[in-house]
Structure 1
Amino acid sequence: MGFLAGFIDAVAGGGGLISVPALAFTGMPIALVLGTNKLQSSIGTGVAVYKYYRDGLINFKTVYRGLLMGFVGACTGAILANIVSNQFMRYIVPFLMLGVFVFNLINKSLGVTEGKKRMGELAFFSIFGFIFGLYDAFFGPGVGNFWIIAIVFFLGYTFLNASGYAKVLNLKSNLFSLVIFIWFGKVNYTFGFIMACGQFLGGYIGAKMVILKGSKLVRPFFMAVVSINIVVLFYQMIFTNGVAAG
């Protein structure tokens, strides 16, 4: 499960759709599941980021503002999560994810080749770094998918480049959340490191496949992950009170 989650997450995001249910199957409390998931996913995402960086697909000078504002946003989201209920997000996010799917379905060439740049990188990473950082800490599901589509649409990047930058920004969120879970003792290190072994290999191979095959590989994976997210989120909205996978 760690390998599959790492591979899918490195290609198009959404590895939590596999890793969270797998960890929940152990019978651990949900807080331990989420904390352990952050441990293993941080390792897989870190490996993917390293591979993208080694192949020249990530420029940290471009993305550092997103990291900084993402930290501010994550702090804000964490505070809000402790004083405001996030249950209303369960009724909003499924429709946002559906909108992402339909938009991509209509614009079949989006992200396959470089597109029109609609925002400067300074403004984009500052604004969306804060917004998605806040969202990830406050609610979370699908944040990697939202990052990819936002980068593709507003900066005109291909899915290949967008996937690399989304991984950097996801790694920031994972590490910040992991520190919080470790502080409260909500990490099972045995399960976390066992799954991380698979994540390590899956993250590396997934990133390598993206680099070799390019955006034509990322787009169908992206659409598939978004589709599964839509089904999961609508199911949870209608039938359960469970926690969706981020």
Structure 2
Amino acid sequence: MPELALHLLLFLFAAAFLAGFIDSIAGGGGMVTIPAMLIAGIPPLETLGTNKLQSLFGSGSASLAYARHGHVNLKEQWPMALMSALGSVFGALLATVVPADVLKAVLPFLLIAIALYFGFKPNIGDVDKHRRMSVFLFTLTFVPVIGVYDGVFGPGTGSFFMLGFVSLAGYGILKATAHTKFLNFGSNFGAFIVFVLYGVVLWKVGLMMGAGQFLGAQVGSRYAMAKGAKIIKPLLVVVSIALAIRLLADPAHPLRIWLGM
């Protein structure tokens, strides 16, 4: 595709900064960057590939910030990140041959359910609770399943990881947020490799947006660490509902097509 004008690159940089800020706290950064790239005239497949490149900077930046302040041990989390990456590789390959209509139809309602869970469960805070699944089982089952989802489709991946860490691993919400980011980095990296092999990554755009993501994630992660559950919980609810509404508002959404809307 032709070179993007400077004002479009600056627009995408600003969008990536905002996405990095939001994603480092509650996930859902793709809700900002994917529409922004489509508005800039980038074709859908290149948008998905380039989105994975720039997302690496945001999830990597947030992971380093949380690790630096002792909220996550990245060395201990490598097995989970690797399983997330392997799952997303499989998901990205699956996306090339399997229609995602059913997933697209169900996803908004899953996101609304997540928003209700975090919004109405009164005892979710910064303190860890009882673990319901061992680290080993969590790594071998839940993590790669969400990785596959990220490779196939993507929106809401951070919300699903958060749900797992809070409800299954028993983490407090700040600790869950910190651990989510490195797994998101893994799933982004796995899918990114597949998209590179397919030649659908726009490197100049991705690196420009990556710089915005990196800076936004640094600001967002520091804000989350300062405010804890007071900001993470409501923003997670808002982002999940906003993403569900955006998906349902798309005229091409399978549910709207099935209902003739």
With normalisation by structure 2, the TM-score equals 0.85
Aligned position for 1:216: 230
Aligned amino acid, residue 201 of structure 1: L
Instruction: Give the one of 73, 80, 93 matched to 2:107.
Output: 93
Q: Is the 8 A contact 2:173 2:232 kept in 1?
A: yes
What corresponds to 1:84 in structure 2?
98
Report how many aligned residue pairs link the two structures: 240
Q: Does 1:106 align with 2:111?
A: no
* Closer/same/farther in 2, CA of residues 74 and 39 from structure 1, 3 Å limit: closer
Q: State the partner residue of 2:19.
A: 5
1:51 aligns with 2:61: no
CA separation of 1:175 and 1:76: change in aligned 2, threshold 3 A: closer
Instruction: Show the counterpart of 1:71.
Output: 85
Q: How far apart are residue 137 of structure 1 and its match?
A: 1.3
Per-residue displacement from partner, 1:82-130 (whole Å, max 9, x unpaired)?
3322211112212211211122222133244322221112211221112
In structure 1, the partner of 2:6 is none
Q: Tell me whether 1:32 sits opposite 2:46 in the alignment.
A: yes
2:137 equivalent to 1:123:
yes
Partner of 1:183: 197
What stretches of structure 2 of length at least 5 have no aligned partner? 1-14, 255-261
Cα contact 1:152–1:158 (8 A) shared by 2? yes
1:52-106 CA-to-partner distances (Å, cap 9, x unmatched) read 1111111235433322332332233234323322211112212211211122222
Distance between the aligned counterparts of 1:76 and 1:174, measured in 2? 12
* Residues 115 and 236, structure 2, Cα contact 8 Å, conserved in 1: no
Query: Is the 2:72–2:175 Cα contact (8 Å) retained in structure 1?
Result: yes
Residue type at the aligned position of 2:158: G
Contact 1:112–1:219 (CA<8 Å) still a contact in 2? Answer: no
Residue 182 (structure 2) pairs with residue 196 (structure 1): no
Gaps in structure 1 of 5+ consecutive residues: none
Equivalent residues of 2:104, 2:253 under 8 A apart: no
Amino acid at match of 2:136: L
Q: Distance in 2 between matches of 1:79 and 1:36?
A: 16
Specify whether residues 241 and 91 from structure 1 end up closer, same or farther in structure 2 by C-alpha distance, changes over 3 A only: closer
Moved more, 8-17 or 110-119: 110-119
Counterpart Cα distance in 2 of 1:102 and 1:41:
27
Q: What is the CA-CA distance between 1:138 and the residue it aligns to?
A: 1.9
Q: Is the 8 A contact 2:88 2:188 kept in 1?
A: no
Q: Give the Å deviation of 1:164.
A: 1.0
| Counterpart mapping for 1:124-203 below 5 A | 124-203=138-217
